[in-house]
Amino acid sequence: MADQYDLDLQSMQEARQMAVAAREAQRAFFSFSQEQVDRICTAMAEAAYRESEKLARMAVEETDYGNVPHKVVKNQFSSRDVWESICTIKTVGVIRRDEERKVVEIGWPVGVIAALTPSTNPTSTAMFKVLIAVKARNGIIIAPHPSAVKCSLETVRVMAEAGEAQGMPKGLVTCMTKISLPGTQELMRHYAVSLILATGGAAMVKAAHSVGKPAYGVGPGNVPCYVDRSADVVKAARDIVNSKAFDNSVICATEQAVVADKPIAAQLASEMEKNGAYFVNKAQADALGKVLFSADGAINPKSVGKTPQRLAEMAGIQVPAQARILIARLDGVGAAYPLSREKLTTVIGWYEEEGWHAGCERCIGLLKFGGDGHTLVMHARDEQVILAFGLEKPAFRIVVNTMATLGSVGVTTGLMPSMTLATGGIGGSVSSDNITVHHVLNVKRLAYETKPPPAAATVPTTAATTPVPAGKSMSDQDIETIVRRVMTQIGR
């Protein structure tokens, strides 16, 4: 019967039904203990981990982005590692006591979360969002990208089935199957949805912030990679190539441009070539720019997550069969230099600058051209240079001497494991963190008196708030005038 309606209407109706069902399930889930919540999350994390390879394969087959081995790594990280990072965090009942300040903190769920997920990392992002949502006793509805519906749906099915087997209310964790823009908008605007957690392109993030509800929206990152003269150049070269080649560069925190300190630039280029990098000439770079982007600067979806050989075929150029990434030497940053944009594929820009001050300015220019607030990676052993970059760069993740791809999400660093990297106020986000369970958990506070009130607050006062001359009482008209003035001030 539903098939007689167009996709938009089906999608909107599905969103409404799932939102109401999730709210009812979340109300039932509210009474679950910490032990019950953790048992459910453990089961879901283990189920997702077991199915990591199958889900990785489904994602590559459906989206044609990235490669299976690297998506397996991301799936395992987003199930096992993410759960291990939050499993001991209290989210139910009294979660903290501050005896000195006499404040008792109590965990409280946000409600139902509308979770928008990207086509670039569909299964791993869904795993991560389900775990942090349910850990905080929230309901969650995954709204996948239209090109990643099957793999996203299967990921959620695997996790929901495992959770429900441990007593999780049915409908608490679901995934939309009929995807359309009106349907996703209906989900975000629905009265039963309390918060939006959007990971994807700039348009999606803007839409998430425009519906008038609390939202964590995180979008693109044009990540610079500065290599200082003090760096371990051999390791830096290896890290950069491995990171840029990881899953064919579909993680938004992947290096987008190398900014090499001139004294070590030639050595760095040589070492990167040893690791599988190939420098294209200007004509080849121009051809790649036309393939990767449209005239208005929008990324070509067909170029996303492709090997250098696939890109070369699309651009009509020749590259070596062993090339893992392609490097284009660039003279500037901006619309006139298409390859200075974020490139969710195996192409990276190359700049050479004299000294870290000039390198700093180049990095800032790249961040401002599409990556404000996101991520920067640097390779250096001079702690003064490292600290200077940390203090000055408009990026909220500055990872040092590691792969940006894995360091930024918390695989190779001490950052909180996350597949949603917020960009702070300068990047249009309400947070600058790696999003985790704390961001989808409300906290109530019982606050006991710790000091007596000021004496003036306990002394009886006259009813009048306006001084009255001695020996003269206010008339009804005087009182009415004061009341009218006060009501005008408060907008009544």
pLDDT tens string, the chain, 492 residues long: the values are 456 679 999 999 999 999 999 999 999 999 999 999 999 999 999 999 999 999 999 999 999 999 999 999 999 999 999 999 999 999 999 999 999 999 999 999 999 999 999 999 999 999 999 999 999 999 999 999 999 999 999 999 999 999 999 999 999 999 999 999 999 999 999 999 999 999 877 777 777 878 889 999 876 789 999 999 999 999 999 999 999 999 999 999 999 999 999 999 999 999 999 999 999 999 999 999 999 999 889 999 999 999 999 999 999 999 999 999 999 999 999 999 999 999 999 999 999 999 999 999 999 999 999 889 999 999 999 999 999 999 988 999 999 999 999 999 999 999 999 999 999 988 888 899 999 999 999 999 999 999 999 988 988 876 555 555 555 555 556 555 654 564 455 444
Which of 318, 319, 287 minimizes the C-alpha distance to 303?
A: 287
Residue keyed to tokens 């995807």 = 179
Q: Mark whether 247 and 329 lie in a shared domain.
A: yes
Q: Mark whether 212 and 231 lie in a shared domain.
A: no
In a domain, 474, yes or no: no
400 bridge partner residues: 378
Q: Mark whether 131 and 74 lie in a shared domain.
A: yes
* CA-CA-CA-CA dihedral for 59, 64, 70, 75, to nearest 10: -20
Q: Mark whether 141 and 213 lie in a shared domain.
A: yes
What would the DSSP string read from start to end of 442-490? EEEEEE---SPPPGGGTS---S-SS---TT-PPPHHHHHHHHHHHHHHT
In a domain, 460, yes or no: no
In a domain, 457, yes or no: no
The DSSP call for residue 330 is: -
| Residues 348, 370: Cα–Cα separation, whole Å | 15
Q: Mark whether 306 and 172 lie in a shared domain.
A: no
Q: 78 near 125, Cβ under 8 Å?
A: yes
Distances (CA, A) of 411 to 81, 120, 275, 293: 8, 18, 21, 30
In a domain, 338, yes or no: yes
In a domain, 421, yes or no: no
Residue 363 designated active-site:
no
Instruction: Name the token pair of 469.
Output: 């001359």
Q: Mark whether 87 and 49 lie in a shared domain.
A: yes
Q: From the candidates 41, 175, 225, 252, give the one annotated as an active-site residue.
A: 252
Total count of residues recorded for the chain: 492
User: Which CATH number covers residue 341?
Assistant: 3.40.309.10
Distances (CA, A) of 71 to 14, 66, 206, 332: 29, 7, 27, 33
- What is the amino acid identity at position 40? I
Domain that holds residue 172: 2-219+436-444
The DSSP call for residue 88 is: T
| Residues 479, 453: Cα–Cα separation, whole Å | 31
| Residues 371, 325: Cα–Cα separation, whole Å | 21
In a domain, 481, yes or no: no
In this structure, the strands spanning 277-280 and 325-329 are parallel
Q: Mark whether 254 and 277 lie in a shared domain.
A: yes
Q: Mark whether 210 and 239 lie in a shared domain.
A: no
Q: Mark whether 93 and 167 lie in a shared domain.
A: yes
Q: How far does the chain reach from its first CA to its final CA, in angstroms?
A: 52
User: Which CATH number covers residue 21?
Assistant: 3.40.605.10
Instruction: Name the token pair of 399.
Output: 């990872």
Q: Mark whether 213 and 227 lie in a shared domain.
A: no
Q: Mark whether 145 and 293 lie in a shared domain.
A: no
Q: Mark whether 130 and 254 lie in a shared domain.
A: no
Instruction: Name the token pair of 224.
Output: 């610079």
